[in-house]
Structure 1
Amino acid sequence: MPYTTFSDAQVNSLIKAIDADGYAVLPDWATDRQLNELRALVSQTVADAGYNYVALSGRESVQGTPLYDWGISHDFVDLCRRITAGVTGQRPADNGMSQTLRCLTGNGGRRESLIFHYDSYVLTTIMPVCLPQTGERGDLLMLPNRRPIRRSYLHNLLDKVLVDNKWVQRYLRDRVARDEQAFTRIVMQPGHMYLFWGYRSLHTNLPVAEDALRATAVFHYHNVHGSSSLASRLRKSLGTLKGPNLQDDVPQT
């Protein structure tokens, strides 16, 4: 990682870019050597999954790789903390990081695309490991900064329920087909780190061809309602039920 510490001016510049444009970019976050190492990991992971969609969640699943190192990097965690503090006005816990390596390919990759959602974490950062060179590239698509940070978990849950249903999802997909210019489309480049307010922005990725591969390292920081007793009770009562409106973090970006 070529980046180390960031000045207050640099952090403020990133916050202003996210507020104004919907996202900010840290170019060349990963070195060529790191990218090659991560691409080898992706190739093996996808092969083990039968060349279909697969996601590796948490640091333990990527031990011995740059992804593990970044997840515990003081400099990276401190950057996320300071950026998040800039939008919330609060000092988040330094251990508020979640991470996923997400690999889109095959039928499963298409099923996991064009699912609009809000994250439960304030800050989302994405670093593409590999992307298709032509055709459907799985670009990031968003309606940036559409909601404030909710005071209550219940209000946050209502936001997610209103989006996570077949009618709204169909409306949003149709809107993309009719008027893509209404959305912010981010044509990402491997090795660059992209930052946005995942909690506040309605976002998804465009599909990739079944014979292509899109792999991204996704880091989420500061689960706003992670300590909510209501969220905890709902998770326990619903057991294995899964969906973006109830989970603290779903790898859908």
Structure 2
Amino acid sequence: MPHSTFSQAQVASLIRAIDSDGYAVLPGWASPAQLKDLQDWVTQTVASAGNEYVALSGRRAVEGTPLHDLGGSRNFIDLCRRITEGATGERSTDTGLTQTLRCLTGDGGRKESLIFHYDSFVLTTIMPVCMPQSGERGDLLMLPNRRPLRRSYVRNLIDKLLVDNTWVQRYLKKRCFSDDRAFTRIVMQPGHLYLFWGYRSLHTNLPVAADALRATAVFHYHNVHGSSSLAGRLRKALGTVKGQPTHEDVPQT
């Protein structure tokens, strides 16, 4: 986990990689010992849930694990802030991260796969904890940097509605299997940290075998429309708990 700050040159390098390749990687974000502890804990958590899909939102849900410390790490939050500000040219007022641990396995895990979406946050980071070594691994799939940052929440909502419908989802699923070269496919490794523009990139994960386990810690930074009164009313109408990620942001990543 991060124990030191990053130089301006390192931050600029990460931004360039995300802009040009669609994503950047920080290898060995979790130490082998931390990763082993997390994997054991995740395995136990999933077993307690009947070996089905599990999503734990917020720091409290992972208290006592390295993920709790990571979600509140000043160095990690500062890195996300500097990357976001360096890319947007605007200073973010966000002082924390929105996080979820997402565990795909069983039939529920398959239902939560191949749902293409845009995030509401500028920066999305993912640290895989458990990944299948063969077969259906649940690789990250994206069409990177497909839209700009919208100044209007309504325009952002239109973007999402154009994607979140049966016809477009069916087309994208068919296309990813018939022409996978059109997509950026990321074979993620446990313990590494992957960063991309979640707001701008249309993304999803490929299916995971029902008897396998894919567990990822997802951290979001800077909700573009977090101060929008319309967004707030819609979240309230949908029954979203304040401070927790909406369904559109985390459960499909």
Counterpart secondary structure, 1:215: strand
1:111 maps to 111
1:88 maps to 88
1:101 maps to 101
Q: CA deviation at 1:235?
A: 2.2
Q: CA deviation at 1:41?
A: 1.5
Deviation digits for residues 134-159 of structure 1, max 9, x if unmatched?
Answer: 11111000000000000011111110
Structure 1 residue 133 corresponds to structure 2 residue 133: yes
* Amino acid of the structure 2 residue aligned with 1:101: L
Matches of 2:96 and 2:248, distance apart in 1: 12
Please report the TM-score for the alignment, with normalisation by the length of structure 1.
0.95
1:166 maps to 166
CA gap of 1:75–1:238, structure 2 versus 1, over 3 A, is: closer
Q: CA deviation at 1:82?
A: 0.2
Give the aligned length: 248
1:70 maps to 70
Structure 1 residue 175 corresponds to structure 2 residue 199: no
Deviation digits for residues 77-126 of structure 1, max 9, x if unmatched?
Answer: 00000000012211112424100010000000100000000000000000
Counterpart secondary structure, 2:172: helix
Deviation digits for residues 37-82 of structure 1, max 9, x if unmatched?
Answer: 1112211110121100111100000111110111111100000000
* Amino acid of the structure 2 residue aligned with 1:74: R
1:229 maps to 229
1:218 maps to 218
2:12 maps to 12
Counterpart secondary structure, 1:102: strand
* Amino acid of the structure 2 residue aligned with 1:97: L
1:251 maps to 251
| Aligned structure 1 segments of 4 or more residues deviating by more than 4 angstroms | none
Structure 1 residue 42 corresponds to structure 2 residue 42: yes
Residues 226 and 248, structure 1, Cα contact 8 Å, conserved in 2: no
Matches of 1:72 and 1:96, distance apart in 2: 7
Structure 1 residue 199 corresponds to structure 2 residue 183: no
2:121 maps to 121
Matches of 1:151 and 1:46, distance apart in 2: 40
Aligned-residue identity in percent = 75
* Amino acid of the structure 2 residue aligned with 1:207: P
- 141-150 or 45-54: bigger deviation: 45-54
Residues 123 and 199, structure 2, Cα contact 8 Å, conserved in 1: yes
Matches of 1:239 and 1:43, distance apart in 2: 30
Matches of 1:178 and 1:77, distance apart in 2: 39
Matches of 1:20 and 1:106, distance apart in 2: 35
1:25 maps to 25
1:146 maps to 146
Counterpart secondary structure, 1:68: helix
* Amino acid of the structure 1 residue aligned with 2:171: Y
Counterpart secondary structure, 1:170: helix
Matches of 2:247 and 2:110, distance apart in 1: 21
Residues 223 and 248, structure 1, Cα contact 8 Å, conserved in 2: no
Residues 142 and 204, structure 1, Cα contact 8 Å, conserved in 2: yes
Residues 115 and 204, structure 1, Cα contact 8 Å, conserved in 2: yes
Q: CA deviation at 1:180?
A: 0.3
5+ long unaligned stretches in structure 1: 241-245
- 12-21 or 60-69: bigger deviation: 60-69
5+ long unaligned stretches in structure 2: 241-245
Structure 1 residue 55 corresponds to structure 2 residue 55: yes
Matches of 1:53 and 1:248, distance apart in 2: 17
Residues 218 and 250, structure 2, Cα contact 8 Å, conserved in 1: no
Deviation digits for residues 15-49 of structure 1, max 9, x if unmatched?
Answer: 00000000000000000111011112211110121
Counterpart secondary structure, 1:115: coil
